[in-house]
Structure 1
């Protein structure tokens, strides 16, 4: 399973391992190149699930993101910025 960065997985090696049943399956939310070229072997692998880089977007994650954004705007307006990354 890879939900972080596509280049962490060697696509050719993974496709071969899947084809030869060396591993039972793979689940990928990221690929080395996005969007993937049509000839990406992982797109044809029968035991490989590929999602379009949306695994993070659960209902609770999106709700938490929205709540954090609203709180950050309120804190900024009150002169107390939160989650500052350029300080």
Structure 2
């Protein structure tokens, strides 16, 4: 098994909770239901902690990129909305 742990500092509590809830929904109902990947998301202080475990390194990379992109997309959308 291969594992990666990401810690992303998000000072704004409301934003942190929103991201957590969004990612938690993905963890509970993942697109890939094969069981090859295990993802957990939690909040510790001002950090969003994402733990990804996978049976092979290729899947680990793909899942890590997916979660990073989901965070990027959410933050980019909020930034665009806040401009108006």
Higher helix share: 2
Q: Which has the higher contact order (CA 8 A, sep 6+)?
A: 2
Q: Give TM-score scaled by structure 2 length.
A: 0.33
Q: Give TM-score scaled by structure 1 length.
A: 0.33
Q: Please say which structure displays the higher CA radius of gyration.
A: 1
Higher strand share: 2
